[in-house]
Amino acid sequence: MSNEKHLLVFGLGYTAGRIAAALSERGWRVDATGSAGNLDFDDQNAVGAAVDSASHILSSVPPDRASGSDPVLERYGDTLNRRWLGYLSSTGVYGDAGGGWVDESTPTVAQTGAGRRNARAEADAAWLDLGACNFRLPGIYGPTRSALDRVRNGKARRIDMPEQVFSRVHVDDIVSGVVAAIERDAPRGAYNLSDDLPASGNAVTEEACRLIGIEPPPLETLEQAKLSEMARGFYAENRRVANGKAKRMLGWEPAYPTFKEGLASLL
């Protein structure tokens, strides 16, 4: 491994791609697997060479839905030590909190054996065991992926669940949090990157409609909405995500502390 600032990304998707772009603009060399990357994940020689030379490695690859295993750890886990590791995880590892607050000290479903996302929680735990910075992310929104787009496309829904809330984060605030962790060489461990205002999905949809100038969609029950199994699973979890550790340890502040600033910027 050289002293060159070299980031290897496993899974160059929506969020990881923006992180890679931000570091590239700072003069970093970036290699990546994924549809937009320059490496084939299955080319062990090329990926192995990139692993050997990388100073920093970031994975955004979720566990395999069928097996539950983490493809990156399964294929390359034995070669990832001796460098900075980052993993884009999910606040889904906390499971349902009944609307209460969770932070990085809250047991995950991997620890409790409960919840619907054990595979993600177990992958999260495995990356922590390797010494990674795990960035636990709530609902991600940003350009082309927000309530504004759902409203415009006629896909926005309002579900009649008045007590259900969740946290969210603008994709650019994820970028700034991960970059801050890298530049500060932050202690390994979990970091919640979320905004300051957990709120219902209905509130976000209503704000998007207000900004566009149309009436919100009607309230529906879960049964009336005929949501997919994945979407119904989302409504089965209810929690507020605290972000104080990231603020203290990374010197991070979300540029979009609530969905209102975030949606306004996207408009």
CB contact set of 2 (below 8 Å; sequence gap of 6+): 53, 55
Burial of 13 (0-12, 13-18, 19+ CB in 10 A): middle
Within a domain: 218: yes
In percent, the amount of the chain with pLDDT more than 90 equals 85
61-84 residue pLDDT tens: 999 988 889 999 999 999 998 789
Calpha distance 231→225 (Å, rounded): 10
Residue range 207-261, pLDDT digits in tens: 999 999 999 999 999 889 888 877 787 788 999 999 999 999 999 999 999 999 9
Q: Does some domain include residue 119?
A: yes
Residue 7 has pLDDT above 80, yes or no: yes
Is 50 inside a domain boundary?
no
- On whether residue 58 sits in a domain, the answer given is no
Q: What is the DSSP letter of 93?
A: G
Write the CATH number for 218. 3.40.50.720
Residue 34 lies in a domain: no
User: Residue 2 falls within a domain, yes or no?
Assistant: no
pLDDT in tens, 248-260: 999 999 999 999 9
53 inside domain: no
Q: Residue 31 and residue 37: Cα distance in Å, rounded? A: 7
Q: What is the pTM of this model?
A: 0.95
Asked if the model's pLDDT at residue 1 lies above 60, the reply is no
Phi/psi for 232 (5° steps) reads -65, -35
- Give Cα separations from 65 to 73, 138, 232 (angstroms): 15, 19, 17
Domain of 186 in residue numbering reads as: 83-266
Q: State the total domains in the chain.
A: 1
Give the tens place of pLDDT for each residue, 147-170.
999 999 999 999 999 899 999 999
Residue 231 lies in a domain: yes
